Each structure stands twice: as structure tokens, then as C-alpha cells.
Amino acid sequence: MANEHGLILPVIMCGGSGTRLWPASRESLPKQFIPLLGERSTFQAAAQRVSDPSVFRKPLVIANLESRFIVAEQLSEIGMTADIILEPIRRDSAAAVAVATVRAAHENPDAVVLIMAADHVIGDPESFTQACRIAARSAARGHIMTFGIAPSFPATSYGYIAKGGALDREGGFKVERFIEKPDANAAAKYIGQGYLWNGGYFLFAPQIMHAELGRFAPEILEAATSALAGATIDLDFIRLDKAAFERSPKTSIDYAVIEKTELAGVLPVSFSWSDVGSWDAVWNVADGDASGNVTRGNVEVIGTQNSLVHSDNLLTTVVGLDDVVVVTTPDAVLVSARKSAESVKDLVSHLRAKNHPEADEHVRVHRPWGWYQRLDVGSRFRVKRIMVKPGRRLSLQKHFHRAEHWVVVRGAAEVTVNEKVLLLHETESAYIPIGAVHRLANPGRIPLELIEVQVGTYTGEDDIVRLEDVYGRS
């Protein structure tokens, strides 16, 4: 059984695509990995929130396969390490919690597990840590604990918790019932009755959750157990067995267990919290100016109030508008009434139905070695800006349908073309013929930047044969 004085095992859930924060958040780089409110991403903030070694063990991160290198890189940027488990397909939170439970029961049976999201914003990290300590003591005694957030407004996008009688001497309460996202009238009534927001954090002893999964969701537990048993090690990642994992029903841990168990308890907490699930939520959390405007990036506003204006780079100006959201990226612009921000998710579905690649793909694509950014595309050509981190290199590769021209604009490049190895500096260039075996590397101490011009009958990203790759890609 878990030790109430032992260290807490944080499990950071990195799933989700954050479509309501389009166009800044997309499938290829969702909201938890972008700096919405500061210099760091919400994932990095979540990891730092559980970095006190006197309270927390090394985190376990559960992410999808496509995010693995972003997770590792962002942890490295803040000087942290974690065990990283990769989901081969998305199965919602119940499967991920089951995987964390099975692993913890095997490797850390005396720990209390903390399930937390990667995309939440918490205003007082010290109060959060203290709440974790208190809830962990209740969890070690056999309860499945959650945090009850004091509502600051009648939200319709959050679930609510009705608390029952006192749970124990730690200040927690039994959960009388969980309520799904209400309409505005019901939300106002719930606040008047003292209901709490369900923040989606859960603390439990692994044996307790294992037993409850076996009772209420045996298919999910079996799939998680088999997926871990068949897992493989890939570099620094743990890849779950796909065939086993996809047997898990797709549902949330709330539906699968939390709303059914008799062991649920809630600890009311006072720290500010938001899931920053929409641009309106970002506006509510961020610090605004005297006119109530929240701006970020290359932005100017005149005669505008209570608005959010966000720019990745493009000069974005707003004149004479109130209560709007304006977001610009290199390849997309969003303009919305702030009260309609929740509908951005529907907009993304519409864009997907119309086969707009911008619905899911950023113009800048991150790779383990750095990134590339699409500058222009036309018939028989594609132009990219490429950045390679110091000491990193791309795969040894070839293409069947295109030639490439590289021009170095910053740093030094080590270029392999068939049997030749060239060292290029700023303004120098290299030509890679169709079918040539080639590789790009950065031997220097500063980022390498170059412009790549592709010319050929086909310039898609799938025209690549990797002959050797240090990152294990095929």
C-alpha cells in the first residue's frame, strides 16, 4: 500500500490537440507545447510545478508518438528528465491512467500517483504543492482524491463537484456527485450552492486505482497491462504495444472510474486554475492593459477594449473593435467574437472537411534536430528555411523526384553528398542532385540556418528514403 509520507509520482498527460486555440495550436504542435502566457510552454510549467525532489519523484510523461521529440526537447530546456511513455494511437484519458497505474503498481507500489494535465495554468505553485501533500495523505489511506477549484465565474466549459460530508482530518470531503458541463443557468445555481470546479487532477494509491479499474473497466485495464508487457524501448522512450493498446475502449477516466467509485474524495483548494481551453480562457488568465486588452507579439491596437490580439510574427493591428479575438500566424488568421471562442473547435472541423492542411499543420515543423519552415511552394519547386541545432544532424537520405540547393545563412554546415564531405560557411552553397545520398549536420556551437530550394516533379515530404538515422526513424 502507498506510504502517506512517501514521495508523489507525478504523471503528466500530454494528449490533446487543443483545436479551440487554433491557429496557434494545431495537431502538429498542440497548445501544451506552445508559450501561450510566458516564455515557457504550459507543459514545461507543469513539469516545473512537480520538480521539488523533497515532494515528487521523477515524473512520468504520457504522450503520443508524434510529440516524443518535442517532449524530450522541452524537458531538456528546463533541465529536467522524465520517463516518457508513447501512446501509438489516441484512446482518451482512461487508457493513459490505466497505463500509469499498472506501471506504478509494478515499479513504485509505495508511491501516491498524481494525474495531471500538461496544459493547465496554476497561479500559486506553492499552494499547489501543499495541496498535493494534503491530498496524498488521504489517497494513501485508500481514497481517490481530486482538487475542487473555487469557481470564479459560472463556467459552462468545466465539470462541477458537489461535496458531501467530511472525509478525514485532512480537510477533504466525500464526493456527493460529479456534474457534467452545465448550461449558464445551472452553472450560476451550482456556484450559489457551493459546488466546486472539477480540475481534472487525481491522486491515488496504485493498488486502489488498479482494483477500481478491474471492477469498472476491466477491458481498459487488460489493454493497458498487455500494452506495457509488450512495450519496447526506442532511444529514451517506452513505446506501448499498438495491437494491445488499441483494444482499449476510448473513454475518459471520469466516465470509466471516477464517477462510479465510492472512494472519490475532494479537497477544496484556493489556488487559481484554468485549463486555458479557449482564447477567451487565455484572455481571462493573462494580464491585460488598462483597456482590458491582452496582446502578445508584433501587435498594435487603437480604440479597442477587452480583446485578445496574438501574433506569431506578422504585424497585426486592430482599430475600434471590442471583445474580439484576433490571432495571426504565418499562414492563417483568426478573427472571432470573444464570446464565440468556444466555436473555434467547430471551425477546425470545417477546415478539415474542406481539406485545408492549415487545420492541422504548422508552417514551421519541429524535428529532433531542429525545425524547418515552409517559405513558398509552387509547381515543381518548394522553398524552406532550415535550422539545425548545434551538434545535431539529419538522417542519411536520398530523394527520387527532386534535387536540392542549400545556401548557408548562419553558422557552419557539414554536408555529405555521396562520397564527398563539405564544410560550408555563411553565403556558401551546395547542390544535391536527384538520387544522391546526402546528409546535413551542424558541427558548430551556434544554430545552423540555411535556405533550401527543392526543384523536381514532386516535392512532398514522403519522397524520402532514410538510410541511417540517429533518431530511430524509418
What's the CATH code of the domain at 434? 2.60.120.10
Average per-residue pLDDT for the chain: 95
Same domain? 384 vs 408 = yes
From 327, 353, 379, give the residue that closes a domain.
Answer: 353
* Residue 2 is assigned to a structural domain of this protein: no
* Residue 474 is assigned to a structural domain of this protein: no
Same domain? 430 vs 300 = no
Full 3-state SS string of 386-437: EEECCCCECCEEECCCEEEEEEEEECCEEEEECCEEEEECCCCEEEECCCCC
Same domain? 299 vs 257 = no
Q: In 65-103, which positions are buried (b, 16+ CB within 10 angstroms) versus exposed (e)?
A: eebbbbbbebbeeeebebbbbbbbeebbbbbbbbbbbbb
Same domain? 299 vs 341 = yes
Same domain? 338 vs 370 = no
Same domain? 411 vs 384 = yes
Determine the residue type at 398.
K
Same domain? 269 vs 410 = no
Same domain? 105 vs 199 = yes
Same domain? 69 vs 98 = yes
Residue-wise pLDDT tens digits, 7-58: 999 999 998 888 999 999 999 899 999 998 889 999 999 999 999 999 999 9
Same domain? 343 vs 371 = no
**Burial of residue 472 (number of CB atoms within 10 Å: 0-12, 13-18, 19+):** exposed
326: containing domain = 291-353
Average pLDDT over every residue of 171-178: 95
* Residue 438 is assigned to a structural domain of this protein: yes
pLDDT of residue 6 exceeding 70, the answer is: yes
* Residue 442 is assigned to a structural domain of this protein: yes
Query: Percent of the chain scored above 90 by pLDDT?
Result: 91
Same domain? 258 vs 298 = no
| pLDDT for the residue numbered 5 | 63
Cα–Cα distance for residue pair 135/13, rounded to 1 Å = 19
From 353, 375, 392, give the residue that closes a domain.
Answer: 353
Q: How many domains does the chain have?
A: 3
Give the pLDDT band of residue 473 (cuts 50, 70, 90): confident
Q: What is the CATH number of the domain that holds 175?
A: 3.90.550.10
Cα–Cα distance for residue pair 170/93, rounded to 1 Å = 28
| Alpha carbons within 13 A on the beta-carbon side of 267 | 28
Per DSSP, helices labelled H in 334-383 are: 344-353
Residue-wise pLDDT tens digits, 84-109: 999 999 999 999 999 999 999 999 99
